[in-house]
Amino acid sequence: MAPSTDDNVLVRVENLVKYFPVKAGGFVRHTVGNVHAVDDVSLVIERGKTLGLVGETGSGKSTLARCVAGLIPVTSGKVIFDGRDITKLSRGAMRPLRREVQMIFQDPYSSLNPRRRVGSIIGEPFAIHKTATGAERKRQVQELMERVGLNPEHYNRFPAEFSGGQRQRIGVARALALRPKLIICDEPVSALDVSIQAQVLNLLADLQQEYGLSYLFIAHDLEVVRHVSDKVAVMYLGRVGEAAPKEDLYTHPRHPYTVALLSAAPAADPDTAAARQRVILTGDVPSPITPPAGCRFHPRCPRAQEICGIQEPRLVPYKDTGGEAEPAGVAAAPWSAGADAHLAACHFPVADGESLAAAGTRELA
Amino acid sequence: MSVTEVQFQASGAEAGQASGAPVEGRSQWQLTWRRLRSDKVSMIALIVVVLMIVLAIIAPVFAAITHHPVDAAYPIQGENAAGNPVGPFTNGFWLGTDSTGRDLLVRILYGARISLFVGVVSTFIAAFLGVTIGLMAGYFGGIIDTLLARFTDAVLAFPYVVLALALAEAFGPSLTIIMILITFFSWAGIARIVRGQTLSIREKEYIEAARSLGAGPFRIMFLDILPNLLAPVLVVATLYIPQAIVFEATLSFLGLGIQPPTPSWGNMLADAQNFYQVAWWYLAFPAIFLLITTLAFNLLGDGIRDAMDPRTERLVAARRMRRRRDKRRTALLDGQTALQNEQEA
């Protein structure tokens, strides 16, 4: 295992692959194929920073998150957390690490056990890791409740007695209990009202400042990701298509899929909305069981040419020149390109202000 | 009531809530109990069940009051000139006597001890086994699950009376054999229900949350999944108790269960068959006790199941409201009639 080159790096995901076998047959079950949920993904999460992960449903965001959290075994690749590869650890060796990585879940209704009182839910981490008991546990739990904006007197209530936003705060308090270094937020606000979303996002931002947390923030709402992230990675069919610092990605998208995704997000400002060129992708996302050869996006890409269906484009850094999309030189590995690199995997990257179809042979629908 | 008064009351209520003791949430069980209490049928069934248990426990008290020990035969007072049992309230026998002149009431109450003991204890053991095995099978899946599923199917498909006959024949009839049999035929059904529930709960995000906190499989099974299973298990167990009681009665009736002179509702019924033309009470009272007990358990089980369902509360509330409205309307009509009568007078 190579030593961590950068002290600012908390998590380095190297060539992570996760396949789910597809079984068939009644009595004799056998594997007939694999769902390529995550296929050769490399990412870096910096200390105290937020990495946003966007992509449509089925792009492998949540699977990637669960691999990073060590909840499911990986097929191959490495997840290096604080200098240690966690993919090979046994359950026992994994236990102390559980304190460092926590998750906040999407559905505040199914992520809290309906039969347990709030105090017991938030106190569960203390009970499992035996860090506090009795009155001390109660005191710490109530402190946490207060910190996330809940009334500590509601210690003995059941989750059903809270609203969605409050329930998500309970989830945040539970994740915070062990003072983790990394919190994986799996679409933490998608199930909430817009007004409540802002409250929860602000709470997460405050907590990040206070405790120096790192976030892996998964969402499909591009505006939410833009609001919270320092860096953003775009996933499509189990691969990272583009990864860049936030503003870079939103203002100079290089990958055609990113361009399409950005153009699809509704804009609050009518002037922006009117000025924007909508890119409408044709077709559906291909099956992750038999992903297309070459670039995963090529069957739907308006710029696709012959090579796209043959050769897999590599994730390479781009210069932020504003106009030209020039490769700044091929790095040995995506994670060694530096934290601020603008990475994209495309044979025909989009230059600034360029129409998506310009270099393409196909017409837009 | 003036506006200020209403406002004052409202602010008073708020203040009371804010300054009161820490708010205690109502648990599922408290809510269930509240709903159950508002259901008359369930409450009557519950009272009958409790009464039956109390009667069974204090059966010796009855024996003492009537001075009729359970196995004592009274050929003089307990039998008429023809040697047949005497009827209820004759010679100090409250429910009459049986074929050998023993006090029927005392014997029925002693029979209740056997019936309730067999019913409750074997169902409890079956529930314990069923929950443990179902939980394991549902949570771990794989080979354990497959084995359990096949075994459960086999048990459920087995003709239990035939097996009971064979076992009673081979080992000699006894209480232990009866209870083993009942447990053996009950646990699989419970295990199947528990397994199904576990499969669905296992996929909930709060289970994943527990795993990400570092909880082990047994902690998850018993602290996170089990509390969610208690409700359905309680309902099923309550409905299994009367089945077990009837099964015990059946075996005893066939002579494969409790052996005379130990009284059991089943063997009393078997004996009473020969006397029903001269002593209807001998057949009727044990049968009535058996019927009432099983009915009460069944109704209670149904009531608990309904009370667990949050939708029931709304139904009950609606019914209550309708009743109140009807009452008000009747009162209004009565008032009008009275007024009319007054005017006419």
- Per-residue pLDDT reduced to its tens digit, B17-33: 444 445 555 677 787 88
On the question of pLDDT at B277 being above 90, the answer is: no
**Residues in B touching A178 (Cβ below 8 Å):** 213
Residues A289, A36 contacting (CB under 8 angstroms): yes
Residues A146, A169 contacting (CB under 8 angstroms): no
- Phi and psi at residue A145, in whole multiples of 5°? -60, -40
CB contact burial A199-226 (16+ within 10 A = b; e otherwise): bbbebbeebbeeeebbbbbbbbbbebbb
Residues A187, A53 contacting (CB under 8 angstroms): no
On the question of pLDDT at B2 being above 50, the answer is: no
> How far apart are the CA of A226 and the nearest CA of chain B, in angstroms?
26
User: Counting beta carbons within 10 angstroms of the beta carbon of residue A90, is it exposed (0 to 12), middle (13 to 18) or buried (19 or more)?
Assistant: exposed
On the question of pLDDT at A274 being above 60, the answer is: yes
Question: Residue B3: which pLDDT band, with cuts at 50, 70 and 90?
Answer: very low
Residues A334, A326 contacting (CB under 8 angstroms): no
Residue spans of alpha helices (H) in A23-117:
61-68, 91-98
Give me the residue from B22, B27, B214 closest to A153, CB to CB: B22
The alpha carbon dihedral of B148, B150, B156, B162 has a sign of negative
**Residues in B touching A114 (Cβ below 8 Å):** 28, 228
Q: What is the pLDDT, as a whole number, of residue A175?
A: 92
Q: What is the pLDDT, as a whole number, of residue A161?
A: 85
> How far apart are the CA of B268 and the nearest CA of chain A, in angstroms?
46
**Residues in B touching A115 (Cβ below 8 Å):** 28, 227-228
Tens of pLDDT, residue by residue over B38-90, are: 888 999 999 999 999 999 999 888 888 888 888 777 777 777 777 778 777 77
Tell me what percent of the residues of chain B surpass a pLDDT of 70: 88
Structure tokens at A55: 């992509």
Cis-peptide, bond into residue B261, ω within 30° of zero: yes
Does the CB of A106 have a partner CB in chain B at under 8 Å?
yes
Does the CB of A47 have a partner CB in chain B at under 8 Å?
no
- Going by C-alpha positions, the residue among A335, A340, A343, A339 that lies closest to residue A8 is A339
Structurally, at CATH architecture level, domain B29-327 sits in Orthogonal Bundle (1.10)
Q: What is the pLDDT, as a whole number, of residue B315?
A: 61
On the question of pLDDT at A1 being above 60, the answer is: no
**Residues in B touching A69 (Cβ below 8 Å):** 212
Tell me what percent of the residues of chain A surpass a pLDDT of 70: 85
Among chain A residues, CA nearest to B226: A115
CB pair distance less than 8 Å for A106 and B205 = yes
Q: What is the pLDDT, as a whole number, of residue A365?
A: 34
Q: Taking the mean position of all CA atoms in its chain, how far away is CA B127?
A: 14
Does the CB of A191 have a partner CB in chain B at under 8 Å?
no
DSSP tally for chain B: helices H, then strands E: 14, 0
Among chain B residues, CA nearest to A110: B205
Q: What is the pLDDT, as a whole number, of residue A121?
A: 92
Q: What is the pLDDT, as a whole number, of residue B26?
A: 65
Does the CB of A107 have a partner CB in chain B at under 8 Å?
yes
Say which residue, B310 or B136, is predicted with more confidence: B136
Q: What is the pLDDT, as a whole number, of residue B186?
A: 87
Among chain B residues, CA nearest to A105: B205
Does the CB of A72 have a partner CB in chain B at under 8 Å?
no
In SS3 terms, A232-246 reads as: EEEEECCEEEEEEEH
Integer Cα distance of B131 and B123 in angstroms:
12
Lowest mean pLDDT among A224-228, A327-331, B156-160: A327-331
**Residues in A touching B145 (Cβ below 8 Å):** none
CB pair distance less than 8 Å for A71 and B211 = yes
CB pair distance less than 8 Å for B25 and A94 = no
Q: Which of A62-66, B122-126, B165-169, B339-343 has the highest mean predicted lDDT (pLDDT)?
A: B122-126
Q: What is the pLDDT, as a whole number, of residue A362?
A: 41
Mean pLDDT for B97-118 is 88
Q: What is the pLDDT, as a whole number, of residue A323?
A: 47
Q: What is the interface size between A and B, counted as CB pairs within 8 Å?
A: 81
Lowest mean pLDDT among A228-237, B5-14, B121-130, B137-146: B5-14
Mean pLDDT for A281-287 is 79
On the question of pLDDT at B296 being above 90, the answer is: yes
On the question of pLDDT at A2 being above 60, the answer is: no
CB pair distance less than 8 Å for B209 and A115 = no
CB pair distance less than 8 Å for B27 and A158 = yes
| Domain positions in chain B | 29-327
Tens of pLDDT, residue by residue over A137-176, are: 999 999 999 999 899 988 888 888 888 889 999 999 999 9
Choosing among A115, A146, A186, which should be mutated to test the B contact, i.e. which has the most B CBs within 10 A? Answer: A115
End-to-end CA distance of chain A: 48
Q: What is the pLDDT, as a whole number, of residue B131?
A: 93
Q: What is the pLDDT, as a whole number, of residue B126?
A: 94
Q: What is the pLDDT, as a whole number, of residue B341?
A: 75
* CA distances in angstroms from A95 to A11, A98, A163, B132, B185, listed in the order given: 17, 5, 32, 26, 41
Mean pLDDT for A28-50 is 85
> How far apart are the CA of B133 and the nearest CA of chain A, in angstroms?
22
CB pair distance less than 8 Å for B205 and A111 = yes
Tens of pLDDT, residue by residue over B111-147, are: 999 889 999 999 999 999 999 989 988 998 888 888 8
